[in-house]
Structure 1
Amino acid sequence: MDISALSEPNFSPAEWINTNYKKYVEENVKQGGEKTASAFIQSYVAKLQLYVQQVNYAVEESSQQVVSSMPRIAKEAATLQRDVQELQEKMLAMRQEVAAVQDETGECMATLERLNTLQSKLQAAKESLQESDGWGNLLAELEDGFERNDLKGICEKLTALQKSLQAQEQLAGHAERLTQVEDFKNRLEALASPNVVQCFAESNLEQAQHYADIFDSIQRLPQLQQYYRAVQKNVLQQQWKQTLEQQQQQHFLSLYYDQLLEHCQRQVKWCSQLFSGDQTQPFLVLAELLPALQPARDVHILQLLKTSNERLELLSAFAQANHSFVLHLNSSLEQSHIILPEHLKRQLGEAIFEYFHKFVQQYPRLEETQLSTQVDRLLSNQATPSDAVRHLVDSTRKLYEWLYEACTRCSVITSDLALCKLITLLNGIFKRQLENFGRTQRQLSLSLGSPKTENWSLLQYTMSQLQCLADFQMQLNQFEQNLHTRLDALDGKLGKSTDRHIITIYQTLDQATSKQLINSIKDYQQKKTEASETLGIFPQIYATLKTHLTETHEITLSVLLQPIEVHLSQIRPPAVDGNNMASSGIDMPSFSFAPQESITQIGQYLLTLPQHLEPLLLSPSPLLKQALELCNIKYTQAIPCADVLLSLVVEQCCLLYQAQILQIKSLPSSAATQLSVDIEYLSSVLEELGLSINQQLSQILTLLKAAPDQYLALSAGCEPRLVTAIRQMRNIISTQ
């Protein structure tokens, strides 16, 4: 039986009993004994009882030993407590003794420190006197070295002189000796400078490293770097003059920038070997060279602009040269893993772009001149309305082509820094183009009723005008979206200009200009948020467009209403004839009256209108549909545009007919009957068209048909104005 399993932390009684039972059964099988469960239980219970007895005996024996040892343990604990108290008392006494010793020896330690300080000063004075004794010898050796032009010897003696000067810092006359050392450095620099310039001009790395060691030993390595930059700037200045002499007007700047890039790439490795890993010197050369070029870049460009008729193209070429140069420069820095200091990066950006800011400021004026010249070519008077409308279509297409080209130039020349100013001048350009629409609109209006122009042709022209206006507005909306996209991009670039590791033109903006530009962009973004129907950049242009759309639609209605107006103008009350039965008081039945010819002509005209309108408006183009919806909200209904226009014509026709009737001063009974017949005829014609006369005309019909004695009763619910007017026409005496 495995008793050790009872002490395991994961002891399971059931598992332990099952395991032992299996072992018991296997052993009995091998021995040929019985394998009953009762036998197993008796055997293991007996063993467990024996084990428990052994455990109880061991526990009892351990308890007796503990009890017998308790007095001894208590005695030892008391002894240990007394020892601890004695130790604490000894430590307190020792602390007091140490404090007393510190008080006694404190003055001695301070004295020793003062003595040590004096000793150090005396030692320094001794060394200073020793160096002072050798100062004169060093001066003499230096003078001898200068007479022999021994640069190496001079450098060694000057290094020793510097160390001697440091040792003599405690002696009087240190300032005079310091001046002497600086004079010797100046003489050494003057002696070495011709050879330094020569080796830099020849790119002799071995000689340059020799002089770098000399200048480094006399702590004048920055002066050596100045010699390097002066030589390189002189070389590059000569290349600039040669480039200008090549008469490459549009490409002189890009050619020179290519030379600078090649020179810079060669010098980066050379300077890294010469100045112990310093790779910034070639870039510092560029930063110092470009603003000092003679003649200056802006001066030469101004001369070219004065003699050129393609000024914007020239500026685009020069701006592209600037950006291409910066792009390659940034790429070179990235490939070489060179991170320029922030001040040098800004200085280099200003050196490249600062001269061009004056052209950025001049750009809007040049762009306005070019756009105005182009738009002037569009302002031509056309002989016929059809030519005028076709001209509008072509001029709209050309205008937006020119505008997108202008935006491209703005991006290329100014990196969109002049975009807000460009937007301002574009308002004037759009207004001039809208004058074209107004001129064509007046021409269409003047053609109304002209014998040279048929109404149906004029209707087509007005529809084309509406479509052209909608096209203009759609393209204006797309153009505004493009401008907003560019404004957002510009806002992001201005905000990140100081955080980026590359050189950009945005870093060269002064704080005031940058803030003003950001505020202008925010203003446009705010207007976009507040605007409901536009994007907030050209709200006045949209308002003018809406006016032109409305007026052109009114001209369209006038074209369709003109024949109706002609026929209505011929309507007169029948003349009173003494022989007429109606004038003698005999009432004729209304069915004996026929509609007047003018009314039948109006009816026939209205019935023929659908066949003229449907070809134009049965399936209108999206642009024409959009234009009509802007003119009148009824066009947004789910019915054909031709039906809407027909309903508007009928509505105006009823108003005109009503006004014509109300102009009649006197209306005999027979004339009233005739008018009611005419109105009923018109009503039946409109019913065939799916329409009806308006409420006022219907009330006039009721009032015309009412008998004089029933007039008051039948006029109930009619407009008082109409009731009074018809009563006066019919000369009905009021009973009120």
Structure 2
Amino acid sequence: MKLQLFIQEVNNAVEETSHQALQNMPRVLRDMEALKQEATFLKEQMILVKEDIKKFEEDTAQSMQVLVEIDRVKSRMQLAAESLQEADKWSTLSADIEETFKTQDVSVISAKLTSMQSSLAMLVDTPDYSEKCVHLEALKNRLEALASPQIVATFNAQSADQAKVFVKVFTEIDRMPQLLAYYYKCHKVQLVAVWQDLCQSDLSLDRQLTELYDTLLGTWHSQLQWTMQVFKNPHEIVTVLLIQTLGALVPSIPVCLSTAMERAGQETKLTKLLELYDTTLHFARGLEVAMLPNLQEHNLVKVMELVEVVYGPYKPYQLQYGDLEEENLLIQISAVPLEHWEVIDCVQELNHSVNKIFSLASAAIDNCMKLTDGLGVCGLLKALRALFAKYASDFTNTLQSVRKKCKLDDIASDSLFQEDWAAFQNSIRIITTCGELLRQCGDFEQQLANRILSTAGKYLSDSYSPCSLSGLQDVSLADKKSTGKNPWQEYNYLQKENPVEHASLLETLYTLKEKGTSNHSLLSASRTALTRLNQLAHQLAFDSVFLRIKQQLLLISKMEGWSSGGLGETLTDDLPNFSLTPLEYINYLINVMDALGLQPSRTLQNIVTLLKTKPEDYRQTAKSMPRRLASTIATMRGLEY
């Protein structure tokens, strides 16, 4: 019942709503019709307005063109008026400038010249513009000449306030480079004088350089603080000051280095160079530490130029490092004589030489990394190969000498046998030395590869590819980018001075990086030479034993038990049925071989067995022996076989 009532209410509501909608429909239609009429009227009005605007534009176009021309004429007239005013101003200033110069007031004169410069900028199109420019430059030169004594006095006295005045004056007249030239010259004169005093002193060159570098480093810190109060770009200015000072030294550092190297003996040349370079390196590290906190404020192009000037004097010697190191190593290895009169002394010297040779080689690595920062690796490898080749040659000659002293190559077949195990014992010691030599060679190669990759690996770009021009170009780009980080760490003299060696260095680094430092062949030829020494030592030990055995075997046929009573008679049927002499000698040989840890050959064992066999058992024992050998032994013993 409730549901029916609810449905009835809903139907009534729907019916009422529909009835209201039908009643409102005519009014809505009337409103829509009125809106349509208004839209049509608005459209017609817009068309009329558009036509009016078009007509207005057509009527005023000519008038606007006239206005534009009038405005252009007005602008030209204003420009002409300004030019006339500036010309009049130029004339006035030119007439007054002489009186202004008489005041000797730099600031007032500078203000006049600045005004004249502004006036001249408006007179570009005048016929005598170039003459006016020449006249203005002459006036600026007069001002500079007038102010130069004061400028020099200001920079020498380090007067910041007065220096600021000159900075303002020279900035206004566009002569700032000339003012900086005065600044550089004042300090260069003082620093060059310090260097000349040092050169005339009794100090050694490394001490002279130390004093100079300490002075320059102190100047860097003091002048940086002063220039920060005066100039806009103090870091660049102080950098340029050091560049110009190092370039103005008389005598120059390259000349001093050349003289020092000429005076040094061949055996001390590299050591002297390293001492001098260490002094310069200490100075460079000091500058790097000073610049690093504010490196982004520096002009990195100028910093790189300073790096070139600091390290430049050593560039010729860095490029010759391989030859210098090779000469140094050969001189030092020649001072290690392996040859001695006594064999035992030779053996001991060979043993001691192992540590010496690798000590020299390790020192060469240190020299390379210190002097070239890893760029001289190719020269280092060349020098090391020469060192080990010379050592292997001397070692071989010593082994030959030991052979001669032990008389292993000239044992006469009829010489009296003397039991002497000294040669064999010495040979064993030499073999031990060779084993240590090969072990240390392997360790040294690993150390060499690790040092090369850790020090010079920074020069290898991730995009480098061997035998590829694009790879080389990528390296160059990488170097340029990395230069923006720290020029002191990215200095690379080899890339420009010797591209071929630089490419070889990169290829070596690439190989070490790709294959690993434990899988390399940096000194394969040297390792082969040392292996050959080991073979020669084993041959010496072998000969020291078996040449004696050979000698005794040759004497068997001449022993008393093997011959008849008369000299030169051969064995006959009159021989005794059995002789102990051959057996005793063979037993002696077997004992010798046992002492050496060697096994007798099968033939020798068969001979011993047949000699020891009882006559009644001989036929049975000989069945398992070679027939010819059994027949010979039976004949010798007088047995039927």
1:702 matched to 2:626:
yes
Question: 2-side partners of 1:64 and 1:454: how far apart?
Answer: 147
Asked whether 1:545 is paired with 2:469, we answer no
Query: Shift in Å at residue 243 of structure 1?
Result: 2.7
- Structure 1 residue 219, shift from structure 2 partner: 1.8
Structure-2 residue corresponding to 1:205: 160
Q: 1:105 and 1:202 mapped to 2: Cα distance?
A: 73
- 1:167 corresponds to which of 118, 122, 132: 122
Following TM superposition, by how much is the alpha carbon of 1:264 offset from its aligned partner in structure 2, in angstroms?
1.2
Deviation at 1:324, TM superposition (A): 1.6
Pick from 473, 489, 502: which aligns with 1:518?
502
Q: Look up the equivalent residue of 1:135 and give its one-letter code.
A: W
Corresponding residue number in structure 1 for 2:422: 457
Rounded Cα–Cα distance in structure 2 between residues aligned with 1:129 and 1:408: 76
Q: Which residue of 2 aligns with 1:237?
A: 192
The residue that corresponds to 2:218 in the other structure is: 262
**Which secondary structure state, in structure 2, belongs to the residue aligned with residue 281 of structure 1?**
helix
Match of 1:507 among 491, 496, 507: 491
CA distance in 2 between partners of 1:700 and 1:233 (Å): 104
Tell me if structure 2 keeps the 8 A contact 1:570–1:598: no
Ranges in structure 1 where 5+ consecutive residues have no aligned partner: 1-44, 582-592, 614-645, 659-675, 685-697, 708-736
List aligned pairs for 1:604-623, cutoff 5 A: 604-607=588-591, 609-613=593-597
Q: Is 1:274–2:230 an aligned residue pair?
A: yes
Number of positions where the alignment pairs a residue of Structure 1 with one of Structure 2: 584
Structure 2 counterpart of 1:252, one-letter code: Q
Whether the 8 Å contact between 1:487 and 1:521 is mirrored in structure 2 is no
> Contact 2:610–2:630 at 8 Å: present in 1 too?
no
Check whether the contact 2:438–2:531 (CA below 8 A) recurs between aligned residues: no
Aligned amino acid, residue 188 of structure 1: L
Partner of 1:420 in structure 2?
378
Please state how far the C-alpha of 1:433 moved relative to its aligned partner: 0.9
The residue number in structure 2 matching 1:730 is none
**Fraction of identical pairs, as percent:** 23
1:676-715 counterparts in 2 under 5 A? 678=607, 680=609, 701-704=625-628
Aligned to 1:114: 69
Give, in whole Å, the separation in 1 of the partners of 2:519 and 2:367. Answer: 25
Structure 2 equivalent of residue 35 of structure 1: none
Q: What is the 5 A alignment of 1:323-472?
A: 323-336=281-294, 338-446=296-404, 447=406, 455-472=420-437
Residues in 1 aligned to 2:611 and 2:177: alpha-carbon distance in whole angstroms = 103
SS at match of 1:273: helix
Report the residue type matching 1:490 in the other structure. Answer: A
8 Å CA contact 1:128, 1:170 repeated in 2: no
Say which of 476, 482, 504 aligns to 2:447: 482
Question: Cα distance, 1:416 vs. partner?
Answer: 3.2
Distance 1:448 1:534 in 2: 43
Instruction: Please give the alpha-carbon distance, in whole angstroms, between the structure 2 residues aligned to 1:455 and 1:181.
Output: 106
Kept in 1, the 8 Å contact 2:319–2:494? The answer is no
Distance in 2, Cα, partners of 1:453 & 1:203: 94
Partner residue in 1 for 2:618 = none
**Residue identity opposite 2:253 in structure 1:** R
Pair 1:164–1:577, CA change in 2 (3 A)? closer
Q: In structure 1, what is the Cα distance between the partners aligned to 2:211 and 2:612?
A: 83
Instruction: Kindly indicate whether the alpha-carbon contact (under 8 Å) linking 2:375 and 2:494 is maintained by their aligned counterparts in 1.
Output: no
Which stretch shows the higher mean deviation, 303-312 or 452-461?
A: 452-461
Give the counterpart letter for 1:228 in structure 2.
Y
Distance 2:127 2:545 in 1: 114
Q: 1:508 to 1:442 in 2, by over 3 A?
A: closer
Q: Does 1:145 align with 2:100?
A: yes
Aligned counterparts of 1:377 and 1:701: Cα–Cα separation in 2: 60
CA distance in 2, matches of 1:610, 1:53: 132
- 2:134 equivalent among 173, 179, 184: 179
Once residues 506 and 255 of structure 1 are traced to their aligned partners in structure 2, the CA distance between those partners, rounded to angstroms, is: 27
- Provide closer, same or farther for how the CA distance between residues 513 and 159 of structure 1 changes in structure 2, counting only shifts above 3 A: closer
Indicate how the Cα distance of structure 1 residues 700 and 436 shifts in structure 2: closer, same or farther if over 3 A, else same: farther
**1:398/1:140 Cα in 2 relative to 1: closer, same or farther (>3 Å)?**
same
Offset, 1:579: 6.2
Alpha-carbon separation, structure 2, partners of 1:151 and 1:401:
69
Secondary structure of the 2:520 match is coil
| Alpha-carbon distance in 1 for matches of 2:611, 2:116 | 123
Alpha-carbon separation, structure 1, partners of 2:584 and 2:5: 137
Q: Report the CA distance shift for 1:112/1:432 in structure 2 as closer, same or farther (over 3 A).
A: same
**2: distance between equivalents of 1:505 and 1:355?**
18
Find the aligned partners of 1:532 and 1:268 in 2 and give their Cα distance. Answer: 46
Corresponding residue for 1:302? 258
Q: Following TM superposition, by how much is the alpha carbon of 1:281 offset from its aligned partner in structure 2, in angstroms?
A: 0.6
Q: Give 1:90 deviation, angstroms.
A: 4.6
Structure 1 residues 326-378: Cα deviation after superposition (integer angstroms, max 9, x where no partner): 21112111234553223212211111111221232344444333322221122
| Cα offsets for 1:86-112 (capped at 9, x unmatched) | 545554554455445444433433332
Output the CA distance in 2 between the equivalents of 1:320 and 1:577: 88
Cα deviation, 1:389-441, whole Å, max 9, x if unaligned, reads 21011112112112222222222233333332132122222111112321232
TM-score, normalised via structure 2 length: 0.80
User: Per the alignment, in what secondary structure is the counterpart of residue 534 of structure 2?
Assistant: helix
Distance in structure 2 (CA, Å) of the matches to 1:511 and 1:579: 91
- Does the 8 Å contact 1:360/1:414 carry over to 2? yes
Pick the structure with greater CA Rg: 1
Contact 1:142–1:154 (8 Å) recurs in 2:
yes
Single out whichever of 278-287 and 301-310 deviates more from structure 2. Answer: 301-310
Task: Map Cα deviations across residues 458-486 of structure 1 (whole Å, 9 max, x no partner).
Answer: 22322221221222222222322233233
- For the pair 1:559 / 2:544, whether they are aligned, the reply is yes
Q: Deviations over 1:274-330 (max 9, x none)?
A: 113543111111111112211101212333333445433332222112222121112
Distance 1:453 1:112 in 2: 134
The equivalent of 1:130 in structure 2 is: 85
Q: Distance in 2 between matches of 1:445 and 1:87?
A: 128
CA contact (8 A) 1:360 1:418 kept: yes
Distance 1:392 1:82, change over 3 A: farther
Seen in structure 2, the aligned counterparts of structure 1 residues 304 and 396 have a Cα distance that, compared at 3 Å, is same
* Residue 568 (str. 1) matches residue 547 (str. 2): no
- Identify which range, 259-268 or 314-323, moves more after superposition: 314-323
Q: How big is the alpha-carbon RMSD for the aligned residues of Structure 1 and Structure 2?
A: 3.8
* Preserved contact between residue 235 and residue 298 of structure 2 (Cα < 8 Å): no
Amino acid at match of 2:456: L
Q: Tell me the distance in 2 between the aligned counterparts of 1:201 and 1:378.
A: 59
Aligned counterparts of 2:144 and 2:418: Cα–Cα separation in 1: 95
State the alpha-carbon separation in 2 of the partners of residues 518 and 682 from structure 1: 75
- Does the CA contact (< 8 Å) of 2:377 and 2:505 recur in 1? no
Give the equivalent residue in structure 2 for 1:670: none
Distance, in Å, in 2 between the alignment partners of 1:411 and 1:682 is 71
List per-residue Cα deviations over 1:28-67 (Å, max 9, x = no partner): xxxxxxxxxxxxxxxxx97x99888777765654454445
In 2, the alpha carbon distance for the partners of 1:459 and 1:494 equals: 52
- Partners of 2:242 and 2:611 lie apart in 1 by 89
Higher relative CO (Cα under 8 Å, sequence separation at least 6) belongs to 2
Cα distance, 1:257–1:59 mapped onto 2, change above 3 Å: farther
Deviation at 1:119, TM superposition (A): 0.7
Cα gap change, 1:405 to 1:141, in 2 (>3 Å): same
Asked if 1:192 is matched to 2:147, the reply is yes
The offset of 1:137, in angstroms, is 2.2
